[in-house]
Amino acid sequence: MAKQVPSAPRSVRGSRSGRPIMALLDLLGRRWTLRIVWELRESTLTSRALRTACDEASPTILQTRLSELREAGFVELTDDGYRLTGLGRELFQTFTPLNRFAERWSKQVG
Amino acid sequence: MAKQVPSAPRSVRGSRSGRPIMALLDLLGRRWTLRIVWELRESTLTSRALRTACDEASPTILQTRLSELREAGFVELTDDGYRLTGLGRELFQTFTPLNRFAERWSKQVG
DNA sequence: GCTCCTTGCTACAAATACTGTAGCGATACG
DNA sequence: CGTATCGCTACAGTATTTGTAGCAAGGAGC
């Protein structure tokens, strides 16, 4: 049975609360989702280019995630390939502090 | 075979780049990780309380994630239960915009 | 027409990850 | 002692992901 693509106000895997943040955490918590958004951050990529960028991840799962991200309104497919929508770019912005944090983390823990 | 807990400068599932952000995205992209950090955001929770907060997620996977989060330095176990470390709280801070974004998202897409 | 690319996307079996239930040893309280 | 709780684990069933292969559609060159 296919899992629902979380779109905000519905009930979602791991949560019956319907809080949007839960739907978002659920979507972003699926494998490769965060990575895909990250790789699309500054360029439009064809599915093959995206696969290369994602260390040859399985096309099956990439397609699945891309469908979910498109349905969620974060990614769109253009003639040049996949790219973030306006909303997707807003989402990516929220990762910027995460990147800075990752650098600090690597110095403290690594 | 058990996957490594990503700690910054090592090679990590889905990435040979060693960039800390990849290690972090890998860790956060595992099921329940984001949710656990979220649920610990403002209180120390025992393992059972955390399980309740996470909609009765399987204790197996919660323990696995908690181990990873502890090894990564984001969570610690005290006499009162699990809680975010200083570093973990910093990580959570980076989610704050995510929460606001989720609200906006739910209005646009949902 | 044809071949030779590349595109987005899918099938399918094997490998891995997750779930759900049960229960362990340790500790504390009566 | 019995009865709780705690953190944590075993194990079998199920869901998800991986890796390989390949589809149909579209363009470029012939």
**Are the C-beta atoms of residues A107 and B20 closer than 8 Å to each other?**
no
CA of A35 to C1' of D28 (A): 34
Find where tokens 């960039």 sit.
B19
Residues 9-28 in A contacting B (C-alpha not used; CB under 8 Å): 9-10, 14-16, 19-26, 28
Each residue's pLDDT, cut to its tens digit, for chain B (110 residues) gives: 334 555 443 334 444 455 788 888 889 989 999 999 999 999 999 999 999 999 999 999 999 999 999 999 999 999 999 999 999 999 999 888 888 999 999 987 65
The pLDDT-based confidence of A57 (bands split at 50, 70, 90) is very high
CA of A38 to C1' of D26 (A): 29
**Domain carrying residue B39:** 32-108
List alpha helices for A29-95, DSSP H.
33-39, 47-53, 59-71, 86-93
Protein residue with the closest CA to the C1' atom of nucleotide C19? B58
Which structure tokens are listed for A80? 């040049």
- The answer to whether the CB atoms of A8 and B102 lie below 8 A apart is yes
* Domain assignment present for A21: no
* Domain assignment present for A7: no
> What three-state secondary structure class fits A77?
strand
pTM: 0.83
pLDDT at position B7, please? 47
**Are the C-beta atoms of residues B85 and B73 closer than 8 Å to each other?**
yes
* Domain assignment present for B103: yes
Is B109 within 8 Å of chain A by CB?
A: yes
* Number of domains forming the structure of chain A: 1
- The answer to whether the CB atoms of A30 and B33 lie below 8 A apart is no
The pLDDT-based confidence of A109 (bands split at 50, 70, 90) is low
pLDDT at position A85, please? 97
Which CATH number do you get for residue A47? 1.10.10.10
Alpha carbon distances (Å) from A38 to A26, B4, B24, B27, B47:
17, 22, 12, 14, 32
**Are the C-beta atoms of residues B17 and B28 closer than 8 Å to each other?**
no
Alpha carbon distances (Å) from A92 to A19, A65, B8, B72, B76:
20, 16, 21, 23, 29
pLDDT in tens, A29-39: 899 999 999 99
